[in-house]
Amino acid sequence: MSDKNYSEEQMISITKVTMRYLDSWRLKSDEIINVLGLDEKTRKRSLQNFRAGSKTLPQETEVMKRVEHIAGIVAALRTAYPMNAQMRARWLYKPCRRFQGNPPLSVMLTEGMNGLIKARIEIDCAYGWEISEQMKVKLQGR
């Protein structure tokens, strides 16, 4: 997702879906800006425009990679909790042993891209396996 150029129509769809995901996580405006890696000067009014589809997320590599991880986390949460939307949201706020008792959302907010990756690996074992396989290949190539 991060290296592709999307049409305006595709970006509107990606933006609206991403905002729905983040709204389902019950994030505050400043947390949405943080998780997406947007400029801290981004106005809260811009978030409303993103939701409405009158403005799109910037097609910057960093932002698009974050969108990809957010979508991956959402998909993994749907797999883990297929019948319970409340549990999907609760998982983000529940203290996690692997994060020294911090909830995944806290890790995402404090560690940026690395936090998103850590949270995705925690909930999405297939993604975690893919990453570990890529690391093995790189190490063997040395």
Return mean pLDDT, the chain: 92
pLDDT tens by residue, 5-17: 999 999 999 999 9
Q: What is the pLDDT of residue 52?
A: 97
Cα-based distances in Å from 135 to 16, 86, 113, 127, 132: 33, 34, 18, 12, 5
Number of folded domains that form the chain: 1
Q: What share of the chain is helix, strand, coil (3-state, %, to 5)?
A: 70, 0, 30
d(CA 101, CA 95): 5
pTM summary value: 0.87
Please indicate, yes or no, if residue 108 is contained in any of the structural domains. yes
Q: Which pLDDT band, with edges at 50, 70 and 90, does 2 fall under?
A: low
Domain extent for 49: 8-141
Which residue in this structure is represented by tokens 């811009």? Answer: 46
Q: What is the pLDDT of residue 134?
A: 72
End-to-end alpha-carbon separation of the chain, Å?
28
- pLDDT of 45 above 60: yes
Please indicate, yes or no, if residue 3 is contained in any of the structural domains. no
Please indicate, yes or no, if residue 2 is contained in any of the structural domains. no
Please indicate, yes or no, if residue 62 is contained in any of the structural domains. yes
Q: What is the pLDDT of residue 128?
A: 66
